[in-house]
Chains A and B, each alone.
Chain A
Amino acid sequence: MSAVTVQTGVLRVLRVVVIVALVVATVVPFVYMLSLSFVRIDDLLREPLRVLPALDRITTETYREVLASEEDGGYGFARFMRNSAIVAVSASALTVALVVPASYALTRLRFAGRSQISWLFLAVYLFPTIIIAVPVFVGFQVLGLGSSLVGLVIAYVALTVPVSVHMLRNYLAGIPESIDEAAVIDGASRFQILTRITVPLAMPTIMSTALFSFMIAWNEFLFALLFLSAKQDLWTVSLGLTRLADGQEVSKTVLMAGSVLLTVPIVILYGVAERALTEGLTAGADKG
């Protein structure tokens, strides 16, 4: 047999093995999460190896307990989810409102300081978030925004803006400038071009930018920890889950239900917009 046939044969088998192994490694932790969220804690302690509960032992009590407010003997995840939703929706809306005009200007207009801005946004990533978080926290305390959702939203906008500008700018650079020029000849102003031409054309990418910043804000943990630790009624889902997991008193399967509630909105959004999101993030990667 020639080297070509041997290698082709081996690689064909190896490819199937790799695909199966990767899919299993990716999916199993999520299956484990979902499954344990329906298990009673004493069943888990008795039989940790039994990942899928027996049908007659399945419980939804975990979800009731984790969602109910403290007064009803629960852990208040319904409120955490509402907080997270408020923060993530506002952060994402504000990010889009800021990023669309900025990316338009960066791709279409020549102005003083244009090239420095790209460097500024890159340099931001050289520093760990933790070192940004502390001065921001102290500054916000002085302004009275320290322990509030408003402060958190502002911080999240700043965190997502650099990447969002990058995504949208790549896309806008691909729209021919001649469209803008045609509109100018028809007497359109800069503002009209932006709102009537650029925004509709870039709508898919704008949506994926919005989704991306929603996800970052929904998943974020460190800022929430520094800003809101002391204020339990303002906790986001991520913060609530870590705080409750630190103690011993809350059962792990109830917290597993909390993890599912934290993950499901992201998975749904991602399912809706997977293609737009990956294309937006990897824009330009194929050009090297």
Chain B
Amino acid sequence: MASKLRRHENRDGITLVLPVVLVVAAIIVVPIVWTVVLSFQDARYVDVARNGLFNELTLDNYADVLTAPAFWQALLTTVEYSVATTVGSIGVGLVAALAFRDKFRFRAPLRAVMLLPYVAPVVATTFVWQVALNPQYGVVNAFGTQVLGWEHPVNFLASAPTALLTVIAYDIWRYFPFAFMFLGAALTGLSREIEEAAVVDGATPLQKFWFVVLPQLLPTVALLVLFRMVMAFNEFDDVYLLTGGAAGTQVASVRVFEQLTGSSDIGGASATAAVMAVFLGVALAIYLRLTAKQREAR
């Protein structure tokens, strides 16, 4: 009887998956391919509207991208921002997961509350941060000048080192719940027996964490690093909404957006995006190679 089902397995499988694949192909894969093609063309909106994909091919965009100091600056900013938010959000998430590991009163509702920054609309939370940090009417500057005795209000989001640091702080705030959620689930899955054995052998709590708990969490941490790096590297909303890319916060995707909307340089924007994707791909390959040994060891 079961063989009757097996007979049409290939056909049925493809039929059931096809709609999803078509949607993803049409909305995501085709645009990516199109981007790659456009990056080899000297295209403005008018050319694309008139000729579609068939413009003259050229390497000029890549030459322009790779020789523009602003591109390298954006790349550097993106790397700084990605590494800082990844390390920060996973670090805070790990501390939070450990603090919430053992039961205490109100643990479940408080844990739910801690995920709010991650689920709340990014437009609303960035707006709240902007207002809170505003030099004229923001509560942070009011507190700083009136209580802490700052001489001047700090224009956090519009002046150089603070803007990038604030964006990083915001993203740690927004994304630590993500790491907290995953590490919390991983901690629940650990067997307590090894830890109890370590305690019987006289391990201090810190030794227990370092030699017993942390090694077991490393696979989850490695996965989170991968997730967060990729997401941070391509992040647009948070930076654009907080600073618009001003004051040394122009990360790559904001630069792409400005090339598109500001100078409507589609070819240049596409080339920037393609170069960034190559960088990310290479970084991922190196990372997977480096962590491959550990994964095999398990």
Contacts and interface: CB of A to CB of B under 8 A. Distances in A.
Interface of A: 3-4, 7-8, 11, 15, 18-19, 22-23, 25-27, 29-30, 32-33, 36, 44-45, 47-49, 51, 98-99, 101-102, 104-106, 109-114, 117, 120-121, 124-136, 138-139, 154-155, 157-159, 161-162, 165, 181, 184-185, 190, 215, 218-219, 221-222, 237-238, 241-242, 245, 252, 255-256, 259-260, 262-263, 266-267, 270-271, 274, 278-279, 281-282, 285-288
A130 B253 contact: yes
Contacts of A190: 5, 8, 12
Contact of A124 (B28, B184, B270): B28
Contacts of A105: 12-13, 16-17
Which label, helix, strand, loop or mixed, suits the secondary structure of the A interface?
Answer: helix
A23 B96 CA distance: 10
B29 interface: yes
B76 to A, nearest CB: 17
Interface in B4-18: 4-5, 8-14, 16-17
A262 B181 contact: no
A56 to B, nearest CB: 21
Interface of B: 1-2, 4-5, 8-14, 16-17, 19-21, 23-24, 26-32, 34-35, 38, 48-49, 92, 95-96, 98-100, 104, 110, 112-117, 119-125, 127-132, 136-139, 141-143, 146-147, 173, 177, 181-182, 184-186, 188-189, 202, 204-206, 219-220, 223, 230-231, 233-234, 236-237, 241, 252-253, 256-257, 260, 266, 269-270, 273, 276-277, 280-281, 284, 298
A121 B29 CA distance: 10
Contacts of A138: 48-49
B94 to A, nearest CB: 11
Contacts of A252: 131, 137
Given A26-B116, A128-B256, A138-B48, A266 B206 contact: no
A48 B31 contact: no
Given A130-B253, A241-B127, A287 B99 contact: no
Contacts of A104: 16
B131 to A, nearest CB: 6
A134 B204 contact: no
Contact of B129 (A29, A237, A256): A29
Contacts of A267: 116, 119-120
Given A113-B14, A221-B123, A4 B273 contact: no
A18 B99 contact: yes
A238 B28 contact: no
Contact of B27 (A132, A215, A282): A132
B146 A49 contact: yes
A131 B31 contact: yes
A218 B246 CA distance: 27
Contacts of A158: 23-24, 26-28
B146 A32 contact: no
18 contacts: A7-B205, A18-B96, A18-B99, A26-B113, A27-B116, A30-B120, A105-B12, A110-B13, A112-B10, A125-B230, A126-B280, A134-B35, A134-B266, A138-B49, A184-B2, A242-B241, A282-B182, A287-B189
A89 to B, nearest CB: 16
Q: Find the residue from A105, A133, A135, A221 having the highest chain B CB count within 10 A.
A: A135
Contacts of B204: 3-4, 7
Given A48-B138, A285-B185, A130 B99 contact: no
A221 B21 contact: no
Nearest to A28: B132
Given A134-B260, A135-B35, A288-B219, A184 B139 contact: no
Nearest to A111: B13
A135 B9 CA distance: 36
Nearest to B92: A22
Ordered nearest first, which 7 A-B pairs have the shortest CB separation?
Answer: A286-B189, A111-B13, A158-B27, A135-B31, A109-B13, A105-B16, A128-B234
Given A131-B35, A136-B27, A282-B185, A185 B123 contact: no
Contacts of A29: 117, 125, 128-129, 132, 173
Contacts of A279: 185
A160 to B, nearest CB: 10
Given A134-B31, A256-B127, 4 more contacts: A18-B99, A49-B147, A138-B49, A262-B124
A101 B22 CA distance: 14
A109 B31 CA distance: 30
